[in-house]
Amino acid sequence: MSFVSPEVFAKQKIAALQDYSVLAGRSISNLFSRPIYWADIYTQMDSIGVGSLPIVILTGFFTGCVLALQSATALEAFGAKSKTGSLVALSMVKELGPVLTGLMVSGRNASGMASELGSMKVTEQIDAMRALGTDPIRKLVTPRVLATVFVLFFLTIISDAVGIAGGALVGVSLIGLNASSYLHSSYNGLVIGDIAQGLTKPLFSGFIIATVGCYFGLKTTGGTQGVGRATTQAVVVSSVLIIVVDFLVSRLMIGIFGS
């Protein structure tokens, strides 16, 4: 790793931010002009959505199980064990469901996008597309962005539902809660602001995953080592941005809905 002066380092990061902003902006603007590669969009939806379904279900289910187990133990000291369902539902819908789903999809798909586009870049397939008159961003980036945003929204809903079901299983079988009481508490514990907050976050997370993964893939240099480096950077940067944006969206939603 070579060391550079702070001035050069700052210029590099500002230039990278500028390039990323241009890429993100063009990926959105391409949706409002032709051609739109619908076949590529459907292919990416299948790859990202269906391919990520098993890991999202497993993560959501066991997160709900652990959350119910820990919550019931803590609430029992206050005589409020019956509120376990409400706590699990709030935690899954508002925070854990969107964030963990975003991180799981990021680990699986941001790396995949970066490695796929990075391999195309180092083998000069991207240059060949430009020579044939095809816009690489319209062909490669826009379908991935649209597909990721769309499927992550529904993957989050599935994760929330499976997490609440996992909490119910643990609550009924291990803690001794009444199933009807648990589900009733879960339902009553949620308001429209909680659901809106939980379903807004995956829209931002999906956009971050796709644009960051594609950005590092298209900026790959240095052959196979560069592909590996781009893959690692894509996962790390997208994961950090998901957590940062999660905080910002939570603060905005609390300001709007008051909870």
Q: What is the mean pLDDT of residues 63-85?
A: 84
Under 8 Å CB-to-CB from 165, ≥6 apart: which residues?
61, 64
The per-residue pLDDT for 2 is 63
Domain ranges of the chain: 42-257
Identify the band that residue 83 occupies on the pLDDT scale cut at 50, 70 and 90: confident
Residue with the bigger pLDDT between 2 and 96: it is: 96
The token pair that represents 172 in the structure block: 């009924």
Under 8 Å CB-to-CB from 215, ≥6 apart: which residues?
19, 20, 23, 24, 234
What does the radius of gyration of the chain's CA atoms come to, in whole angstroms? 21
The answer on pLDDT for 1 being more than 70 is no
Q: Please tell me the least confidently modeled range out of 102-106, 108-112, 190-194, 196-200.
A: 190-194
The per-residue pLDDT for 256 is 85
Identify the band that residue 73 occupies on the pLDDT scale cut at 50, 70 and 90: confident
Most confident of 87-91, 128-132, 202-206: 202-206
Q: What is the mean pLDDT of residues 48-71?
A: 92
Q: What is the mean pLDDT of residues 190-216?
A: 92
pTM of the prediction?
0.91
- The answer to whether 239 touches 252, Cβ cutoff 8 Å, is no
The burial of 161, by beta-carbon neighbours within 10 Å (0-12 exposed, 13-18 middle, 19 or more buried), is given as middle
